[in-house]
Amino acid sequence: MKDLHSHVLYGIDDGSKSIEESIALLKKLEESGTTDLMLTPHYIENSKYNSNNQEKEALLKKLKAKAKKEKININLYLGNEVYITSNFLKLLKKEEIKTLNGSKYLLLEFPMSQIYNNTLEIINELVRKGYVPVLAHPERYKDFQKHPEMVDEYLRSGVLLQGNLTSLFGKYGKEAEKTLKYFLKRKWITFLGSDVHHEVKFDEKKLNRKLLKATRDKNYIEDLLKNNFDKVIKNEDLGILR
């Protein structure tokens, strides 16, 4: 398991509050089969969740050193989960927000209750500048739960989807679970992530069984759990046709 979405970097969002909690989470993730982890703290413009890249890099350095001392064998990478804003390009230029491991891939988040009217316009601007938007947990948004077919226009605009694996275990309710299975069946999901904040509640074997039941495709599951993550780290094209 290579995890694209987590809140294990401590003290800067609603995830881990201390380096000790981060280490405890990393140990549990390692036990659950995680070998690689993207640290994606929230960045919400004009809020308290707005640590810049320099601050995040300093925390990452400390966490890596502590993890090495604790003999934790998880590769750590840095990004952000950025709440949608028309100022993406300005924030990237100012080094306030970070793409996934410095690649062209940018993890972003929509409002849970209602998607903004200018969302596609914002996304198209990112794509024109060479970025690849990765939408976090699409199964959790109310608009997509009611109308899952709406996702198609975002896919055609160049958006990739990152599902939360814990949605398959019912963490966010029946509608989120149902919607993620709908997306998986159509192979619209490109990445999976734990979105871990304070607890680790999944088992790799059970996860694989659920994914196999939902997709019936072992090669696709391998891409979801490992291969697509590796391509992000290397800043390679995913070659997904829409």
The pLDDT tens digits of the residues spanning 160-200 come to 999 999 999 999 999 999 999 999 999 999 999 999 999 98
Confidence of residue 106 (pLDDT cuts 50, 70, 90): very high
CA 149, CA 134: separation in Å to the nearest integer?
Answer: 18
Exposed e or buried b for every residue in 31-43, given b needs 16+ CB within 10 A? ebbbebbbbbbbb
pLDDT at 108 exceeding the cut of 80: yes
A 10 A CB-CB count for 207 gives 22
pLDDT at 240 (0 to 100):
63
What CATH superfamily classification does 2-233 receive? Metal-dependent hydrolases (3.20.20.140)
| pLDDT, average across residues 200-224 | 92
* 231-242: pLDDT as tens digits: 999 999 997 655
- The phi, psi pair for 160, rounded to 5°, reads -105, 155
Average pLDDT of the chain to the nearest whole number:
96
What global pTM score does this model have? 0.96
* 125-154: pLDDT as tens digits: 999 999 999 999 999 999 999 999 999 999
| pLDDT, average across residues 83-91 | 97
Domain boundaries, the chain: 2-233
| pLDDT, average across residues 8-29 | 98
pLDDT at 201 (0 to 100):
78
pLDDT at 160 (0 to 100):
97
